[in-house]
């Protein structure tokens, strides 16, 4: 039997225990896994699963150092004590399975370095895309491709809010409040609506896709707070939907770009049809072309499915006696090279200003007759080529003007905008959204 | 180095060689793979890849028995000599990677039995869904779920034809002819348009999902030859699109059902948006929910990506020295349990008549006034409950009547239809299509 210790018995922990204690009809290997200890904060909390009381403890340190335990499954969330417990478990030679994107995005460096030294695996399928198999395919099947770009809808809360804004025509704040009431958004929604959670996840995907670590601070994160019902309506008229996209791509001028921002997505793209709490990850590679992986991005069952699949992957390797090592000329390899993350250098990052994007910008203006000319001149002087510029109506006594640019340099666009902000006739710029 | 022998240097073989000979920027393990021999039929055919002439041979027997070769990559297609060569390679202790769904669907039994005895892997990611990772996720990540149903659009040719019929309103025969001219359909289109290729593939998926072998003859296959522009137009009016679906599911009354047939798919389902030569596989499981995998179902690059990922998976295991075997109580296991297919029993099959489905049926009738009543009576007597029955117009002097049923027993429906066929007022039944 393989013995596991679970840290955390909340939403995902409970789902994980439920799968493991009900193995019939699932992969037969599950029957060789035994839950040795489960760590929680409040021992007296009522639990949805009925575990023998001697299994449950608040002494998490004793779990990560228990000599009988082979695998530690970290499902507590948060940075500390999750990070320290994982490092301690690794020091005790235990493999790690985690759903904690925050700690991996921020301390992956430290954790993977320690794991590689100790010769243990750190598995994180559940950290991105809930039940969607994406980490494992990126490490294995898709890894034979040169990955050019990953584009993900990987935050369920924001996709739920944007979907409802699109369907109902409501405003962000109202729908967020309702989503909080319904349990689709947290009391503190910052990590979700400001794109930070998606930023954690795309940093993880980028490091797998491009084979170099990513500094979390280098990931540009822009959330959806500024998206208004007006923008959603314009997008619709122009045949787009607005999605919070997380993008990791190789940039032609060198380096990789990793970023999160709301985006106009043409309605006929597969990603445009991903609605509600569903997630999707589009992987583009050579020679593969485009593959999209779609499914539930969160929830007890889906996330637990990913957690248990990681446990299974480790158990699978533990049960394999490779009789072929001698055929392979790599005496030092002992971890399975498709499960471990062996890279230790950092990917070179391309600054945002080196990218090319199309933009949708909405202006509120004072002096209508002159302003279209001034906008045109300003953009032109900064080499920002415009696809359309339309006065779309009035908001009170302000004229509303919507500009859509061709693909232009982000740097040029920024400098044009800096100048435009100084124009007397521009009252405000309520929204700037990139266009896919 | 791991040495491979490739049988076949056509579309997929060429794509495979191209990836292997250009490893930079791909998974680093590719650099430990060496092409030892390549077998072809005509040695003098010009090739898109420039291989040293001493590598290429028409003596395929010498490849599968070459003691230096670790992995045989079968990319010839067809049943023989592919089957015999694979068996011979297995007998020589070589692992197999194949894209050949036909031989696996029909002789998988023999091939896997031989492989398990010899302690070698038979990998077949490329056999289903081209470049979409589906076989490996089913064996690994998704395998912790109880799989309830797999629904696939897994034949590119028929999806291309149906998509064009939907977009252009054309007839099957014309679009097939054009597809043949454009290279999207073969000169002999039988395997594709009669659903046999999809049948091979769903048999393979079903055996992985339900952990029991599937007799290819037990897979019900109905193709798209009878689908007319009229049916496509009715489907559209009713808010459906017609897709050739391959379905494998556990049936409540016991056993599994594996089948291929054209199906009315509601336009708001993810599968309805899968168009052209793209493939998609929807996996439903407990507790996961629904996951959909989408991508190019064929083509040199995509299929070769899957072939090379299988080679990589084997090389990965060959390079792993598991130091944990002793922790695991299974002394006999030596193949990696997530790569091998160890089941040897057959799944119990549920007969078609035990299923429940909704149907769309189009009748051409002689005696209009009386016929609607007669149809209603006949269906009613056989417990076939009707959702709608509409006289939709005339085809020449025949009145056209379209019936949509509720979910009914396939057996009841068949017996109702047998009686209806005998009615004098029914001239013909041009189409019967299941509704999802
Ligand atoms: N929920 C999802 O759908 C989802 C999806 C993908 C990934 N994830 C990730 O999965 C992880 C767990 O999420 P969750 O939703 O299951 O969280 P949760 O419901 O809040 O559960 C957290 C569990 O950890 C325990 N815990 C927290 N801090 C602890 C401490 N200092 N000492 C001991 N025990 C402690 C809690 O104990 P008590 O029960 O005693 O309070 C609780 O059982 C997070 O990293 C999250 O990002 C979640
Ligand atoms: N094409 C796709 O997009 C695709 C997608 C998924 C799966 N597949 C599967 O991949 C396999 C290969 O397909 P393909 O399209 O690459 O086929 P292909 O282009 O027809 O190539 C077949 C190759 O096998 C060789 N060959 C055939 N019979 C042989 C024999 N008796 N002895 C020696 N060599 C023989 C041929 O040699 P010569 O070149 O000398 O004639 C040719 O190089 C098939 O199983 C197919 O179902 C194909």
Q: Is B392 annotated as a binding residue?
A: no
Nearest to A245 by CA among A227, A276, A222, A226: A222
Tokens at A44, concatenated:
């007296």
- Ligand 2: residues within 6 Å at CB? B 8-13, 39-42, 45, 60, 75-77, 81, 99-100, 126, 130, 298-299, 303
pLDDT of residue B319: 85
User: How would residue A396 be classed by pLDDT, with cut points 50, 70 and 90?
Assistant: confident
pLDDT tens column, A200-248? 999 999 999 999 999 999 999 999 999 999 999 999 999 999 999 999 9
Residue A386: band (very low, low, confident or very high) from pLDDT cuts 50, 70, 90? very high
Taking 3-state DSSP, the helix, strand and coil percentages for chain A, each rounded to the nearest 5, stand at 40, 25, 35
Hey, are the CB atoms on B270 and A294 less than 8 Å from each other? Answer: yes
A324 touches chain B (CB under 8 A): yes
Which residue from B26, B125, B335 is facing A143, i.e. has the nearest CB?
Answer: B26
Residue B253's alpha-carbon distances to B126, B349, B351, B407, B415, in angstroms, are 33, 11, 10, 15, 20
pLDDT attached to residue A321: 60
Q: So what's the pLDDT on residue B370?
A: 84
| Domain range summary for chain A, segments of one domain joined by + | 2-131+299-329, 135-295, 353-435
What local confidence, expressed as pLDDT, does residue A344 receive? 82
8 Å CB contact between A246 and A260: yes
C-beta pairs of B78-81 under 8 Å, 24+ apart in sequence: B78/B102, B78/B103, B79/B103, B79/B106, B79/B107
Q: Does residue B329 surpass a pLDDT of 50?
A: no
A360: distance to nearest CA of chain B, Å?
Answer: 27
pLDDT at B288 over 80: yes
A392 is in an annotated binding site: no
Please tell me the least confidently modeled range out of A265-274, B120-129, B302-311, B367-376.
B367-376
Tell which atom from ligand 2 comes closest to the C-alpha of B13.
16
Give the H/E segment covering residue A244.
strand A240-250
Q: What is the mean pLDDT of residues B304-323?
A: 88
Asked if pLDDT for residue A196 goes beyond 50, the answer is yes
CATH value of B353-435 in 3.40.1550.10, 3.40.50.2300, 3.30.70.260, 3.30.70.120:
3.30.70.260
A201, A215, A226, A267: which one is catalytic? A201
Report yes or no for ipTM above 0.90.
Answer: yes
Please identify which of the residues B3, B201, B215, B226 carries the catalytic annotation.
B201
- pLDDT for the residue B321: 60
pLDDT digit string, tens, across residues B122-171 = 999 999 999 999 999 999 999 999 999 999 999 999 999 999 999 999 99
Rounded CA separation A250/A253 (Å): 9
Q: Report whether the peptide linkage leading into residue A169 is cis, meaning its omega lies within 30 degrees of zero.
A: no
Non-local CB neighbours of B276 within 8 Å, separated by 6+ positions: B156, B159, B160, B163
Pairwise CA distance, residues B416 & B413, whole Å: 5
User: What tokens appear for B342 in the block?
Assistant: 């160890």
What pLDDT, in 10s, does the model give residues A124-172? 999 999 999 999 999 999 999 999 999 999 999 999 999 999 999 999 9
Superfamily name with CATH number, domain A135-295? Dihydrodipicolinate Reductase; domain 2 (3.30.360.10)
- The label of the residue with tokens 């790599």 reads A330
pLDDT cut 70: percent of chain B above it:
97
Nearest-CA residue of chain A relative to B30? A144
- Per DSSP bridges, beta strands B56-57 and B33-39 are parallel
In the predicted model, what is the mean pLDDT of chain B? Answer: 94
Is B8 labeled as ligand-binding? yes
Average pLDDT, integer, range A281-286 = 98
Residue of A nearest to B129 (CA): A291
* CATH code at B2-131+299-329: 3.40.50.720
CB distance B317–A308 less than 8 Å?
A: no
Q: Would the CB atoms of A304 and B287 count as touching at under 8 Å? A: yes
Report the pLDDT value the prediction gives residue B323, as an integer from 0 to 100.
45
Phi–psi pair at B395, nearest 5 degrees: -115, 100
Band the pLDDT of B322: cuts 50, 70, 90: low
State the average pLDDT over residues B106-123.
95
- Distance from residue B26's CA to the centre of ligand 2 (Å): 25
Q: Is the confidence at residue B325, as pLDDT, over 90?
A: no
CB atoms within 10 A of CB A128: 29
Residues 375-414 of A with CB under 8 A from B: none
Q: In the prediction, which pLDDT does B220 show?
A: 97
pLDDT band with cut points at 50, 70 and 90 for residue A329? very low
Q: Give the whole-angstrom CA distance, residue B238 versus residue A244.
A: 33
pLDDT at residue B91, as a whole number = 98
pLDDT at A325 over 60: no
CB A308 within 8 A of CB B144: yes
Q: CB atoms < 10 A from the CB of A188, how many?
A: 9
Cβ <8 Å between A295 and B289:
yes
| Candidate of A11, A107, A197 to mutate for ligand 1, largest count of ligand atoms within 8 Å of Cβ | A11
Cβ neighbors of B11 (< 8 A, separation 6 or more) are B299, B300, B303
Are A137 and B133 inside 8 Å of each other by CB?
A: yes
Query: And the tokens for A429?
Result: 């710029």
CA distance B362 to chain A (A): 32
Q: How confident is the model at residue B356 (pLDDT cuts 50, 70, 90)?
A: very high
Q: Which residue has the higher pLDDT, B310 or B339?
A: B310
A119 is in an annotated binding site: no
Query: For B59-109, how does the pLDDT look when each residue is reduced to its tens digit (9 = 90+)?
Result: 999 999 999 999 999 999 999 999 999 999 999 999 999 999 999 999 999
Token pair, residue A421, equals: 């902000």
pLDDT of residue A367 exceeding 90, the answer is no
Chain B residues with CB under 8 Å of A133 CB are 133, 137, 140-142, 291
Any residues with CB less than 8 A from the CB of B201 and at least 6 apart, and which?
Answer: B101, B105, B127, B128, B129, B152, B154, B155, B246
Q: What angle do CA B145, B209, B108 make, to 5 degrees?
A: 155
pLDDT value of residue B335:
86
Q: At residue B396, does pLDDT exceed 90?
A: no
A140–chain B Cβ distance below 8 A for any pair: yes
Select from A151, A356, A355, A152 the least CA-distant residue to A257. Answer: A355
Residue A130 near ligand 1, beta carbon < 6 Å = yes
Reported confidence tier of residue A340, pLDDT bands at 50, 70, 90: confident
Of the partner residues B132, B141, B295, the one whose CB lies closest to the CB of residue A136: B141
**Could you report how far apart the first and last alpha carbons of chain B are, in Å?**
50
Return the closest-CA partner of residue B109 out of B347, B314, B305, B295. B347
Q: Candidates B51, B75, B101: which one to mutate for ligand 2, based on the most atoms within 8 Å of Cβ?
A: B75
Q: What pLDDT band is residue B330 in, cutting at 50, 70 and 90?
A: very low
d(CA B398, CA B427): 8
On the question of pLDDT at A173 being above 70, the answer is yes
The Cα A228–Cα A313 span in angstroms is 44
Q: At B35, which helix (H) or strand (E)?
A: strand B33-39
Active site residue A226: no
Q: What are phi and psi of B123, to 5 degrees?
A: -110, 140
Please provide the average confidence, as pLDDT, over all residues in chain A.
94
């Amino acid at each position: 039997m393989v013995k596991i210790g679970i840290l955390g018995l909340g939403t995902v922990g409970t789902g994980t225990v439920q799968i493991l204690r009900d193995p019939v009809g699932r992969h037969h290997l599950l029957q060789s896994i035994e839950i040795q200890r489960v760590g929680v904060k409040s021992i007296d909390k009522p639990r949805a699963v009925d575990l023998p009381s001697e299994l449950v403890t608040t002494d998490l340190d004793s779990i990560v150092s228990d000599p009988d335990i082979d695998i530690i499954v970290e499902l507590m969330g948060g940075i500390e004590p999750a990070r320290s417990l994982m490092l301690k478990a690794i020091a005790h030679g235990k493999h790690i399975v985690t759903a904690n994107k925050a700690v991996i995005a921020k301390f992956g460096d430290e954790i993977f370095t320690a794991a590689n030294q100790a010769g243990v695996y750190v598995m994180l399928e559940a950290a991105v895309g809930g039940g969607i198999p994406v980490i494992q395919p990126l490490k294995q099947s898709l890894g034979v491709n040169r990955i050019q770009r990953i584009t993900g809808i990987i935050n369920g809360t924001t996709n739920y809010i944007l979907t409802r804004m699109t369907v109902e025509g409501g405003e962000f704040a109202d729908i967020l409040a309702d989503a909080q009431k319904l349990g689709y958004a947290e009391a503190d929604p910052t990590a979700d609506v400001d794109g930070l959670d998606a930023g954690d996840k795309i940093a993880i995907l980028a490091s797998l896709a491009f084979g170099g670590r990513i500094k979390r601070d280098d990931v540009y994160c822009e959330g959806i707070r500024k998206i208004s019902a007006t923008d959603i309506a314009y997008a619709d008229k122009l045949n787009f939907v607005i999605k919070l996209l997380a993008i990791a791509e190789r940039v032609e001028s060198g380096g990789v770009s990793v970023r999160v921002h709301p985006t106009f997505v043409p309605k006929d793209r597969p990603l445009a049809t991903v609605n509600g709490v569903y997630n999707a990850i589009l992987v583009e590679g050579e020679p593969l072309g485009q593959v999209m992986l779609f499914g539930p991005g969160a929830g007890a069952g889906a996330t637990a499915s990913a957690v248990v699949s990681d446990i299974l992957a480790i158990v699978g390797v533990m049960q394999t006696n490779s009789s072929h090592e001698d055929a392979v000329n790599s005496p030092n390899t002992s971890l399975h090279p498709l499960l471990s993350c062996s890279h230790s250098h950092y990917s070179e990052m391309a600054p945002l200003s080196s990218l090319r994007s199309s933009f949708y910008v909405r202006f509120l203006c004072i002096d209508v007759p002159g302003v279209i000319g001034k906008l045109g001149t300003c953009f032109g002087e900064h080499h920002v080529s415009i696809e359309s510029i339309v006065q779309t109506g009035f908001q009170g006594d302000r004229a509303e003007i919507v500009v859509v640019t061709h693909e232009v340099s982000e740097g040029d666009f920024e400098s044009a905008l800096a100048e435009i902000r100084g124009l007397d006739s521009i009252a405000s710029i309520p929204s700037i959204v990139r266009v896919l």
